[in-house]
Amino acid sequence: MSKQPTTDDLRAQVEHTREELGHTVEALAHKADVKARAREKAAEVRQEAGNHRAALAGTTVATVALVAAVVWLVWRPGRK
């Protein structure tokens, strides 16, 4: 036969259920807050754009440096 839960067991189970319910309510509230979710998504998109912009700037600087080096090698003073 199964053992009957003690008062402490029941209290622990109730506390655990309350915690789960609290997490569920928080998740539902977040999901229902469309304005906050839109702001979060906009911030993510801005961050991604900034990352791409930084990568593009780095590539542009490297390309300009490479072209300048090639031009200097081709037209450098003292070249015969």
Q: What is the DSSP string of 31-44?
A: HH-HHHHHHHHHHH
pLDDT exceeds cutoff 80 at 68: yes
- Mean pLDDT value across residues 45-57: 83
Please state the pTM of the whole predicted model.
0.44
In this prediction, what percent of the chain has a pLDDT beyond 70? Answer: 95
The tally of CA atoms less than 13 A away on the side-chain side of residue 4 is: 2
- Position of tokens 């754009």? 49
Give, rounded to a whole angstrom, the gap between the first and last alpha carbons of the chain: 102
